[in-house]
Every structure is written in C-alpha cells, then in structure tokens.
Amino acid sequence: MRSKTFFRSKYIATVISIFSLVAFGFYSNEARKEVYFLCGNYGAGDSLEHVVKQLNTVNLSEYKVENFEQGKRITHSSKLNFHLVGCNIQFTPEEKVVSVSYG
C-alpha cells in the first residue's frame, strides 16, 4: 500500500515539473519575441520619447536608460531569458536614435 502512495506522489511531482517547464518555455519565448519585435521598430532618427513610449508597453521584459557623454543608451532585455536576449539602442545628445544592436 505504501509503494502505491509513493509512486502516485512521484507521478504527480513529475507531471507538475513537466508542466512548469513547458509554461516557462512558453513565456521565455514570448519574452524573446517581445524584445526582438520592439527593437525592430526603431531606426535612425527616431526620438527618445517615441522609443520610451513603446517600451512602456512591455509585459515580459524590462529596459533601463543610461546617460553617457555621447548621448543615452537604452538596454532592453528580459529576466525570463536570463538577460541573454536583448538589444541596445544608442542615442545622440539630441536624443535621436543612432543605432540598434542585438546581443
């Protein structure tokens, strides 16, 4: 009788683990697509205000703005992808996009 309970518990734990991995994989992929889609919307000459307005719509990723002497840089990535998937958006001192790079 005890062995049936053990196997049932093991089965339930296995099913929950598999479901959790599938759910994590799904959300991780959605976060990756969110980063690539949003960064693909920007090109040279876009304003910082326009970029930030779109980035404020993110659900599964995050961004940060850094100030440099040459201008600003926005780094956009996701914790769901352990920040391995991301993009950098470089701005001029006039707050216009210079370049967008993935990495």
State how far the Cα of 44 lies from the Cα of 61, in Å rounded to an integer.
23
Place of tokens 């002497």: 69
> Which range marks the domain in which residue 26 is found?
2-102
Give the pLDDT confidence score for residue 1 in this predicted structure: 52
> Would you say 77 and 86 are in contact if contact means Cβ atoms under 8 Å apart?
yes
Give the pLDDT confidence score for residue 4 in this predicted structure: 74
Domains of the chain: total? 1
Amino acid at 61: S
Task: Transcribe 41-92 into DSSP letters.
Answer: T--TT-BHHHHHHHHTT-SS-EEEEEEETTEEEEEEE-GGGTT-SEEEEEE-
> Would you say 92 and 75 are in contact if contact means Cβ atoms under 8 Å apart?
no
In this prediction, the residues of the chain whose per-residue pLDDT falls under 50 are none
- pTM as predicted: 0.82
